Structure 1
Amino acid sequence: MSNNLTSQKLTFRELISTHSIEIPIIQRDYAQGREGKEELRKSFLTALLEAVNGKSLELDFVYGSVKNNVLQPLDGQQRLTTLFLLHWFIAIKEHKLDNDLKNILTKFTYETRTSSKEFCIDLINKGIDYNELQETDYYDKEKTKPKYNELSKTIIDSSWFFLSWKRDPTIKSMLIMLDAIQQTFQDKTEIWGKLNNISFHYIELQNFGLSDDLYIKMNARGKPLTDFENFKAKFEQYIKKVIYKTNENGEDVLDNGEKIIIKDNWEKEIIKPQETFAHKIDTLWTDLFWNYRNKENVFDEQLLNFFRAMAVINYTLKANFKDDNFRNNLDALRGSQTISFNKYLELDCFDRDYYETLKSILNKISDKSGLKTFLSDTTYVNENETFNGAIKNNLGYAELLKLFALYQYLACENDIDKTNLQNWMRIVRNLVEAHRLYYDNANTFADSLLFFSKLFPHRSNIIEYFKDYANPEDKGFPKFIIEEEKLKAELITQSDDWKEAIVEIENHPYLNGQIGFLLDWCKDEEGMHNIDRFIEYSEKAKTVFSDEGLKHFDNFLFERALLATGDYLLSKGKNYSFLINNERDISWKRLLRDDNQKRIVLKLLFDKIEITTLTENLEQIVNAFSDVNDWRYYFIKYPEIISVCGSQKLARFNDNNEDDILLLGSTMTSGFHKEYYSYSLFVELSSRLSLDESLYKDQKSVDYWKYFDLNGRQIAFDSKTKKFVWTQNREWDNKQEFENRNMAILELTKM
């Protein structure tokens, strides 16, 4: 190998007529057109102007490596780009841009970004009419003189120009430079031939085989690639070499730019340039993600997170759930730490299905103005929230299931039938929401995902399929959830009245598809579902439950009336709750979901109330409860007692002593809590004596007496003897008993 380097004095046209010129990916973006480089730009263009006025100009050295007749400049990128733009401008201004010259100029391209490459090609082949420049009245920042940008404005407004290209730093700089070139050369005529007055010394680094590392070492302006650029480059390479297997000659490129690729079955397929991954990710898809950029106008993380969400789905569908590493791998994919491209490959996240699905989805949902949606409302899935969750990498298991169902449908349908899509997402919503509180482990999520993947082929007739073929024994969802959907499908197909009634109450925001309790309650004496009863119970449910859960009833009136009807409390560990709106074990949703004696209590109450007299009915039920020996009595009579049971409305019942009941301020007895009977006595006395709440002394241990102070005495309840007791100076070893509650009240009110 000879290292004797010799230079040639060449013009731009001489160089590009000999070699194609490709700015390598390791080089920085075109910088001479950047904002803040006005002086450099003005100085260089002034020198070029003097050259076309007759003064010869020799620029510095341009050198690089040539492979397959393609020159990749190591130095000279900025000057060559400016000369390329200048030649294009003079050619269109002087009507020199014929087919021969187009063929020459299209040999100049950028490897740094597909968008830069395609802009250069379209600028030459599609271009603009110089005689039809658009007028502009923009001004510079100081507003001291017009900001002449007729040329760039005309280019940007051309039909072939992608708005996303404005975010490509190279294209942005090219547009600024073109405006500067126009202002510098617009008054000059017949200067095409005089461009040959501009030359440079060209040195070819023969057989150097320059690597990226060498470029960086030799060119201090070489720039490291971002995580996104690295991922994009590796993924594009993966597509070519793995997803589309290339033949021994690589990809064959046809005259019109189309590529022949080899599919998995070794059949040939033609891919149009505008359909390739490289083109889409720098044009249409970029237009979408640009709407979700950060304050620095960067959307790399958002786009990578979308790829990541789809990788979570693909990994789960293919993974072995019994593998000990499955949970850890899924946690890593869903986590906040960066996932390397090699890690994706190691977990087998990528394959042809992944890529084809991803491409189809992004093509469907991408629009310059933002996310393209397909459903008129958010009843079954909020398409904007789903997409935002994906690009922020914060989707829970339930949301990931909806994402899969929605995007898989969009990916597989050329023409989106919105009715079929709505029917499909309705079933998905119902199943997921009925099981939402239990998506706390990877295997549960994986089971549901596989269930939907097997259900997916029947998406176009999902209601009929569910009615006739869905198997409640299938793994993926609890049996009773699938049975509910089968029943609804059967009723819906019976009549439009059933369909209307079911869909309306299903879409109640709190019930969210979970209406098994109504279907159970509306059966007649023969076990047949009665639509009139169904509608009646549905209307009562809408009266009792708001979008967030149980409506607010003053003084816990509904809870007290329900407790007077029967013991409806649900357990959480050792505690029992009067129920809250959102919690897995102790929510109203849980009461509505489980078909057991607790839910029957709610039905009995519903049978006693009328919508028009609801409050009066509840008060009558509370007032009618009279069994003072029933543990429920004081809860029903004194709403203050429920109010001190904390945000989760918890009480602790001792299995070995039915009279040992604690009112929990938190979820554990190690937190402050009160004793039920002593506090009920305190509340009753407070209504007579106007006692301050601070007089009751709650404790942080079950071993300590819970009591209230009154006139030098400490009054408590001894659950072992079932007696109210009192002492002084908290000497509980010397406590004395009241004969009964009434005697305690009588004596304490006399003091």
Structure 2
Amino acid sequence: MNAPVSMTLTSPSLASFADLFGREISNLVIQEIEIPLIQRDYAQGRNTESVKRIRDNFIRTLCSAVMPRGGTVDLDFVFGDVESSGKFCPLDGQQRLTTLFLLHCYLAWRTGTIGKNEPWSRFTYATRPSARDFCYFLVSCFPDFSACLSEWIRDQSDYLPTWEHDPSVQSMLTVLDTIHRSFEGAELSDFQAAWKRLIDKENPAIRFHVLPMAANGLTDSLYIKMNSRGRPLTAFENFKAHFEALLKRAGHNGVEYFSKNVDTVWSDILWPYRGVDNLIDNEFMRYFRFITEINAWRVNLEFKAGLHDDYLAEQVYGVDAPEAADSVDFLFKAFDAWKQVHIKQEFANVLTSQRSAQSGALLIFNSFEEEDVDLFHACCRHYGTRKWTLAHTLLLYGILIHRIHRTEEFPKRIRILRNLVEASEDEIRAGERNNMPKLLDETSAVIVHGDLEQVATFNQVQVEHEQLKAQMLQAVRGLEADLHAVEDHDLMRGGLTVFDLAPQHFGQRAKAFLAIFDKSAHPQQWKTLTAALLTKGDYSRREVRWTGHRLADIGAPKNDEPWRELFRRRKFERVHPASNSLMELLDAVSVGKMALGDLTQIYLNADTTLKDWRYYFVKYDVMRDGASGRYTISPNGGYQVCMLDKERLSSYYRDPYLLAIVHQSGIAGNRIANPGWPYSFSGLETGPRVLTLARSGIQIQCVQEGWRISCEPSNSNQTVILDQICTSLNIATDGPNRLYSIPQTGGVDDVDRVHVGATLLYEMVAAGL
């Protein structure tokens, strides 16, 4: 067998277990691996529920990785150094190395490889002689796999009784059984392929980063920090030691500063936010991760969301990291910014989640249930979870750089940042189309310099409107309170792109908006407002579908989100489609002192009002009942409409015209045969939607020309009744279909089709149809 190639190792390097043997560290070649006396027992085979769950997942991951279609698994860092005899003593990584040794033993057995002749077999324990002897015993085994693996091993003549009392040996037996179960059903060819992938020098299936200790000037005190006999280390303890080692290796001047502060000043900052375990470990690591990811974005460093903290730290602060010194400096400042500060009170002074005219704090719309507006606390508790968003990251970053730079006009600038963040849901993203580096730069430009000219990534419509707001406030003094009040309205959330910012009208329009859009004072106001707005024009979004029908968003009766979306101006819209209608409505309310109900009656009674879909939507409340505020409307008068409760046609929906005639007729629900009425329709908007009568099976459909009646009843008496009704109402008969025509001019109704349809329906049901 060829001797392994030596290579000098002075910085983190990827290696596999087998490939570690023969590597050179500090001019010494690794000949064997010995778990040092200071290490605790091998623990991955302990029989507790939590350990079993971790073990099963870990072994399953390793075994899947070595199979032919498995992916590469990285096991983070292994720290250690080589003694003069060539013995590698791992300081951190004992558990992983032992499991890998056992995996090599198992696959060597399955492929007929003589383990004791392989370099990787020189793996031993100094913790107990029994554990050392057991490792020697394993590499000489040739098990019979027809029985339980651990039972076969225990049944061997050279299996020592004392091994039954060694916790490391018993753990190894348990792990071997787990490995054996994980390969259940595998064939010889699978084991051969797995063995090849495991020991592959170029592309091993399982690898880790090995970090030499003495080669990087690491001391015995660090050794003690990173491990202690009989006590498992926490992830936080390991992190502190690893990070201190990283700073030393990279030659940063802040090693002593970090060591001094991490367990003193910074721990004091985090102590009020400790968890139920009275530890700050997780809280520290989440805030550290927040700052580290910001540092990565600031230098355009790509990283995966699930990257381990230690490895991300190496990329951001390590020897080869771009602008590492600046990143370390910002990390320290990000902690120091909260020294001797009552953090919760500081955030309460700046932010609020309650709308109040008396509060000078900025209202935010993405506060937390428990932490409220304390974004530092929320970051320590939720960073990296679904509760924490990139919008939270930008707001906290804005507040953080204000504290670092002591910026001027902070209330004004943080308000602008909030408005930009709220308007930029589509622009705020990480991942493949990562905008965070640019957004962080622009956040800094806004907070530190108050400069909007450099803002090119946040929503540009909102940027333009922020500039227009500033011009309006310069033109007319005293509008700031009105502006902020409308910005803080829950439907606006900082975005007034639907508003005409003409300064001479803004004050009165703002007050009118706040009055009529006060949901707390008028719980049913949204439905009334929809009717009032429609009297001023078709303010809906106009998106024509391939069917010729268009999607129209007009606001929902109960849900706020459709209104927020409606009031946002889209990038491609030169003028907001709802602006004219809204401004006319606000002027009518503020100048004419008109009530919303009066406006709708004036519209309905006017001779000039066309009886197209707007007329019917204004007159009949039930037609505006869609939970999503979204409708599909046919061309011409708009007499074929789908009322969506969701945003797409993929779910069941209602037909508002059919719903209106049922509602107006007052007939009982049991007279309708449609399954699931009124949510009885699905499919494309061009398909027929009919109301089916339960007694006769007669169907009624709203069409462009009026009401189509189809499906003749099978009962001859009912046919006679239907003929009589049709004759009395002058309904034309054409075979099985009858059309109750609505008089029209230019394709628009001259009479109220809902009233006509309701009368028809009532007479049919009353006559027993």
Q: Is the 8 A contact 1:568 1:598 kept in 2?
A: yes
Aligned: 1:433 with 2:422? yes
| Distance (whole Å) between structure 2 residues aligned to residue 223 and residue 650 of structure 1 | 61
Residues 315-347 of structure 1: CA deviation (Å, up to 9, x unaligned): 112117xxxxx4xx3xx33xxx46241233236
| Distance (whole Å) between structure 2 residues aligned to residue 25 and residue 426 of structure 1 | 59
Whichever residue aligns with residue 352 of structure 1, its letter is: A
CA distance 1:635–1:739, shift in 2 (3 Å) = same
Aligned: 1:312 with 2:285? no
Whichever residue aligns with residue 400 of structure 1, its letter is: T
Whichever residue aligns with residue 559 of structure 1, its letter is: T
Partner of 1:590: 568
Alignment of 1:5-20 (within 5 A): none
| Distance (whole Å) between structure 2 residues aligned to residue 733 and residue 295 of structure 1 | 78
Whichever residue aligns with residue 534 of structure 1, its letter is: F
Partner of 2:262: 281
Partner of 2:107: none
Partner of 2:691: 707
CA distance 1:299–1:587, shift in 2 (3 Å) = same
Deviation at 1:739, TM superposition (A): 4.0
Q: Is the 8 A contact 1:652 1:661 kept in 2?
A: yes
Q: SS of the residue aligned with 1:344?
A: helix
Residues 200-233 of structure 1: CA deviation (Å, up to 9, x unaligned): xxxxxxxxx999999999x993434222112211
Pick from 336, 340, 346 the counterpart of residue 373 of structure 1: 346
Pick from 431, 439, 450 the counterpart of residue 441 of structure 2: 450
Q: SS of the residue aligned with 1:636?
A: helix
Q: Is the 8 A contact 1:344 1:350 kept in 2?
A: no
Deviation at 1:560, TM superposition (A): 1.0
Deviation at 1:630, TM superposition (A): 0.8
Partner of 1:578: 554
Deviation at 1:305, TM superposition (A): 1.0
| Distance (whole Å) between structure 1 residues aligned to residue 711 and residue 638 of structure 2 | 24
Deviation at 1:540, TM superposition (A): 0.9
Q: SS of the residue aligned with 2:273?
A: coil
Alignment of 1:516-535 (within 5 A): 516-518=497-499, 520-522=500-502, 529-530=503-504, 533-535=505-507
Pick from 226, 233, 241 the counterpart of residue 225 of structure 1: 233
| Distance (whole Å) between structure 2 residues aligned to residue 483 and residue 281 of structure 1 | 44
Pick from 547, 550, 557 the counterpart of residue 528 of structure 2: 557
Q: Which runs of 5+ in 2 are unaligned?
A: 1-35, 41-90, 92-217, 352-360, 716-733, 743-752
Q: Once structures 1 and 2 are overlaid, which stretch shifts more, 420-429 or 430-439?
A: 430-439
Residues 13-34 of structure 1: CA deviation (Å, up to 9, x unaligned): xxxxxxxxxxx99799xxxxxx
Partner of 1:636: 618
Q: SS of the residue aligned with 1:514?
A: coil
Partner of 2:200: none
Aligned: 1:405 with 2:405? no
Pick from 315, 320, 336 the counterpart of residue 363 of structure 1: 336
Partner of 1:342: 311
Q: Is the 8 A contact 1:386 1:399 kept in 2?
A: yes
Whichever residue aligns with residue 716 of structure 1, its letter is: I
Using the aligned pairs only, state the percent identity.
Answer: 20
Partner of 1:182: none
| Distance (whole Å) between structure 2 residues aligned to residue 432 and residue 507 of structure 1 | 14
Alignment of 1:156-305 (within 5 A): 221-242=229-250, 244=252, 276-305=257-286
Whichever residue aligns with residue 339 of structure 1, its letter is: H
Pick from 577, 581, 588 the counterpart of residue 608 of structure 1: 588
Whichever residue aligns with residue 470 of structure 2, its letter is: A
Aligned: 1:749 with 2:762? yes
Deviation at 1:566, TM superposition (A): 1.1
CA distance 1:510–1:240, shift in 2 (3 Å) = farther
Residues 48-93 of structure 1: CA deviation (Å, up to 9, x unaligned): xxxxxxxxxxxxxxxxxxxxxxxxxx9xxxxxxxxxxxxxxxxxxx
Partner of 1:54: none
Partner of 1:668: 648
Whichever residue aligns with residue 699 of structure 2, its letter is: I
Alignment of 1:43-192 (within 5 A): none
Whichever residue aligns with residue 259 of structure 2, its letter is: A
Partner of 2:78: none
Q: Is the 8 A contact 1:592 1:599 kept in 2?
A: no
Aligned: 1:488 with 2:488? no
CA distance 1:585–1:516, shift in 2 (3 Å) = closer
Q: Is the 8 A contact 1:663 1:674 kept in 2?
A: yes
TM-score, scaled relative to structure 1? 0.55
Q: SS of the residue aligned with 1:376?
A: helix
Q: Is the 8 A contact 2:297 2:437 kept in 1?
A: yes
Q: Is the 8 A contact 2:562 2:629 kept in 1?
A: no
Pick from 735, 738, 743 the counterpart of residue 736 of structure 1: 738
Deviation at 1:590, TM superposition (A): 1.9
Residues 93-146 of structure 1: CA deviation (Å, up to 9, x unaligned): xxxxxxxxxxxxxxxxxxxxxxxxxxxxxxxxxxxxxxxxxxxxxxxxxxxxxx
| Distance (whole Å) between structure 1 residues aligned to residue 294 and residue 497 of structure 2 | 30
CA distance 1:368–1:387, shift in 2 (3 Å) = closer
Q: SS of the residue aligned with 1:683?
A: helix
Deviation at 1:456, TM superposition (A): 5.0
Deviation at 1:407, TM superposition (A): 0.7
Q: Which runs of 5+ in 1 are unaligned?
A: 1-23, 29-73, 75-208, 246-260, 262-270, 321-325, 523-528
CA distance 1:285–1:744, shift in 2 (3 Å) = closer
| Distance (whole Å) between structure 1 residues aligned to residue 526 and residue 483 of structure 2 | 33
| Distance (whole Å) between structure 2 residues aligned to residue 365 and residue 377 of structure 1 | 14
Partner of 1:61: none
CA distance 1:242–1:618, shift in 2 (3 Å) = farther
Partner of 1:652: 632
Q: SS of the residue aligned with 2:535?
A: helix
Q: SS of the residue aligned with 1:700?
A: coil
Q: Is the 8 A contact 1:570 1:577 kept in 2?
A: yes
CA distance 1:358–1:551, shift in 2 (3 Å) = farther
Whichever residue aligns with residue 344 of structure 1, its letter is: A
CA distance 1:677–1:25, shift in 2 (3 Å) = farther
CA distance 1:512–1:639, shift in 2 (3 Å) = same
Pick from 644, 659, 682 the counterpart of residue 662 of structure 2: 682
Q: Is the 8 A contact 2:39 2:228 kept in 1?
A: no
Whichever residue aligns with residue 739 of structure 2, its letter is: E
CA distance 1:712–1:657, shift in 2 (3 Å) = same
Pick from 524, 534, 537 the counterpart of residue 566 of structure 1: 537
CA distance 1:243–1:507, shift in 2 (3 Å) = farther
Aligned residues: 481
| Distance (whole Å) between structure 2 residues aligned to residue 560 and residue 312 of structure 1 | 48
Q: Is the 8 A contact 2:334 2:404 kept in 1?
A: yes
Whichever residue aligns with residue 231 of structure 1, its letter is: F
Deviation at 1:539, TM superposition (A): 0.3
CA distance 1:673–1:500, shift in 2 (3 Å) = closer
Deviation at 1:297, TM superposition (A): 2.1
RMSD, aligned α-carbons:
4.3
Pick from 483, 494, 501 the counterpart of residue 513 of structure 1: 494
Partner of 1:536: 508
Q: Is the 8 A contact 2:423 2:459 kept in 1?
A: no
| Distance (whole Å) between structure 2 residues aligned to residue 554 and residue 409 of structure 1 | 40
| Distance (whole Å) between structure 1 residues aligned to residue 252 and residue 711 of structure 2 | 87
Q: SS of the residue aligned with 1:651?
A: strand
Whichever residue aligns with residue 512 of structure 2, its letter is: K
| Distance (whole Å) between structure 1 residues aligned to residue 634 and residue 343 of structure 2 | 58
Deviation at 1:700, TM superposition (A): 2.8
| Distance (whole Å) between structure 1 residues aligned to residue 329 and residue 533 of structure 2 | 55
Q: SS of the residue aligned with 2:708?
A: strand
Partner of 2:456: 475
